[in-house]
Structure 1
Amino acid sequence: MQSELMTRRRVLRLTYERYLEADRAWALALSDMKRWFPTGARPYRAAIGDPGSRMRELYETRARALVRLEAARVKFATAKQRLAERQRPAPVQLYLITA
């Protein structure tokens, strides 16, 4: 495997792990919030929190991690396609010369 592709794969794996970590933190915080404020007691349904709150910070961290994951996935696919194009054999042209 080419070094560029290996680097892209490593970045993809790292961004995926970071997304999973951020998603897990968001899910735990959401579950904690639901325990403190049951569905019927919440003034509004989507409780992200005020700017600067822990819930808002976790939500935005998760959203940024998802954007980075998608960008890494696209870059990996592009590198993979570029490598496949480079490894494709050049077309052979045969010429028949008759006298």
Structure 2
Amino acid sequence: MAIRSQLLKGILEGCILAIISKETVYGYELAMKLQDQGLDVSEGSIYPILLRLQKEKLIQGEMRKSPSGPNRKYYTLTDSGEESLETFRKNWEYLKKPVDQLLSDKEEI
């Protein structure tokens, strides 16, 4: 389980940027979208990443009224965030193919 956790930490930032690039979301909603995709991530893991992404100016947060309860901070991607997401996509494609090949059932490498 620890290895899975370490692998997930390495790709979680890119997954978060990808979700935010598609729609403006708040933290809990983001956690639910990741879980819907099969990535079991707690809110407690997401908020530190959101804070760091905001400090790095890859996302920006805006407080908005909530239809129920307290105001929520909604996140959107900045231009730098779009560039970072594109870099993540390229790096993911670069790594995905060789790893898939190595993990395949084929005997040849």
**Structures share a fold, TM > 0.5?**
no
Q: Normalised by the size of structure 1, how large is the TM-score?
A: 0.35
Q: Normalised by the size of structure 2, how large is the TM-score?
A: 0.32
Structure with higher RCO (Cα < 8 A, 6+ apart): 1
Could you say which structure has the higher strand fraction? 2
Could you say which structure has the higher helix fraction? 1
Rg (Cα) greater in structure: 1
